[in-house]
Amino acid sequence: MELKRRDFLRAAALAGGGLSLGGLRAPGAGQERSPRPRRILILGGTGFIGPHQVAYARERGHTLTLFNRGRTAPELFPNIEQLRGDRATGELGELGGGREWDAVIDNSATDPRWVREAAQLLKDRAGQYIFISTQSTYVSRAEIGIEETAPVGRPDLPKAEWTGYGPSKALSEEEAQNAFPGRATIVRPSLIVGPGDETDRWTYWPVRVHRGGEMAVPGTPQDPMQFIDARDLSEWLIRLAEDGTAGVFNAVGPEAPLTSAEMLYGIRAVTSQPVSFTWVDADFLAEQGVRAWSDMPAWQPPRGRTAGFARMSNARALAAGLTFRPLAVTARDTLEWFLSQPPERQGALKAGLTPERERYLLAAWKVRGSGAEEAR
């Protein structure tokens, strides 16, 4: 059974099986060949989102070159041109010479120096530089509907003192813009989810729902949720390269606002497992030391500093052609991928509550809900 399932998954991943409704693809993300075949250089390409870019770009008829260290899954794409080097040590020799590309997709940089070196090296030989940034660049996520023009980094500090993930990514964006003025595409995804995500930051939910029983879920049923399927993101990146679209984009989904109840019941819909949800109030979670995001994945309390965390504007990306798979496809594929992992991997979820902690939390919540606390 296990082997069969793995085989099937592999076949499905290749052949585009799955929920035939809208297919494995989001609407508009056709598998047909692009009328504009491009030469695309992918920096990285073998991590979580890179392989999806490669698969889609091949179907669309583009010519690909991957540049990486050859350490992560080097056997993944035997038939694709691979250039070797190491951005950490500045070994970019194989990107030198007179090679030209229509677009570069930079998946692998957090350090602004990495972007500066690659972008400067390629600026006269590549048409477009697509940099995968992050929502963490924003100074604040307290507002609702934050657009791409909102401030990034640490405006309170001189740039030389910007450190940490978000500010470094903001500086990296600048390096891309400087080398490719008017030809840079900055994409800021929210939580990237789907099969192959080794962080388990969203995977926890389908896995937990599939285990069944009573679940502790965070906040209120109306709390907003945003995330993006790695495949929707990757396929859109390739289309941005096809269209030569420049600009800055929040890459968050889905299209219409999604509540936590809609997300959880949507995930429930892909399993037969009897399951029920108990929403546990944000203050109580904090009191119990249950952390948003890591213990309660994909969630931040929609108030104060994180009021706008899952209510970012995606209007620009939608206008630029970002489309989304149905949630059921993301949930099912993620779950099936996880269930195909070795038992030791399945036994070590990297996010979410442990069963014991969840049981305790539910019991504590009910004691409080029953008024026992007031009675004491």
Partner 1 sequence: MASRREFLAGTAAAGLGLGLGGVPVSGYEGGGSGAGGGSVAGRPSSLQTVARAPRSLRILFLGGTGFLGPAQVEYALARGHTVTLFNRGRTDPDLFPGVETVFGDRATSDYAALAGRQWDAVLDNSANVAPWVVDSTRVLKDAVGRYLYVSSISAHSDNSILGQDENGPVFSQEDYDQAIASGASPGAAFGPHKAQAERETFKAFGDRGIVVRPGLIVGPRDRSDRFTYWPVRIDRGGEVLAPGDGTDWAQIVDVRDLGQFMVHLVEEGASGTFNATGPEAPLTMAGMLYGIRAITSTPVTFTWVDSDFLREQKVGAWMEMPVWVYPEPDTRGFSAYDCSRAIAAGLRFRPLADTARDTLEWWKARPEAERATMRTGVAPEKEKAILEAWHARNG
Summarize as ranges the residues that interact with partner 1 (CB under 8 A).
Answer: 1, 5, 8, 17-22, 26-27, 210, 212, 221, 254-257, 261-262, 264-276, 323-329, 331-333, 335-336, 339
119: Cβ–Cβ under 8 A, 6 or more apart, which residues? 104, 106, 129, 175, 176, 178, 179, 180
Structure tokens at 25: 């693809």
**Chain centre distance of CA 287:** 29
**Cα angle at 359 between 356 and 361, to 5 degrees?**
110
Amino acid at 83: L
Class of residue 33 by CB neighbours under 10 A (exposed 0-12, middle 13-18, buried 19+): exposed
Closest listed residue to residue 126, CA positions, set 249, 246, 248, 251:
246
Query: CB of residue 323 vs partner 1: minimum separation in angstroms?
Result: 7
Residue whose CB is less far from partner 1, 117 or 336: 336
Structure tokens at 143: 């507002």
Structure tokens at 47: 């991590």
DSSP string, 295-344: TEET---SSGGGTTTT----HHHHHTT-----HHHHHHHHHHHHHTS-HH
Please report how many Cα atoms fall inside a 13 Å half-sphere around the Cα of residue 221, on the Cβ side: 8
Residue whose CB is less far from partner 1, 246 or 264: 264
Query: CB of residue 174 vs partner 1: minimum separation in angstroms?
Result: 33
Closest listed residue to residue 146, CA positions, set 249, 58, 7:
249
Residue whose CB is less far from partner 1, 179 or 322: 322
Distances (CA, A) of 311 to 234, 328, 341: 22, 21, 33
Residue whose CB is less far from partner 1, 274 or 371: 274
Residue whose CB is less far from partner 1, 6 or 39: 6
Query: CB of residue 103 vs partner 1: minimum separation in angstroms?
Result: 26
Query: CB of residue 329 vs partner 1: minimum separation in angstroms?
Result: 7
Query: CB of residue 230 vs partner 1: minimum separation in angstroms?
Result: 16
Query: CB of residue 254 vs partner 1: minimum separation in angstroms?
Result: 7
Residue whose CB is less far from partner 1, 169 or 325: 325
Closest listed residue to residue 76, CA positions, set 99, 90, 58, 95:
58
Residue whose CB is less far from partner 1, 76 or 258: 258
Query: CB of residue 210 vs partner 1: minimum separation in angstroms?
Result: 7
Closest listed residue to residue 236, CA positions, set 16, 30, 17:
30
Structure tokens at 124: 């006269």
Query: CB of residue 175 vs partner 1: minimum separation in angstroms?
Result: 35
Residue whose CB is less far from partner 1, 38 or 311: 311
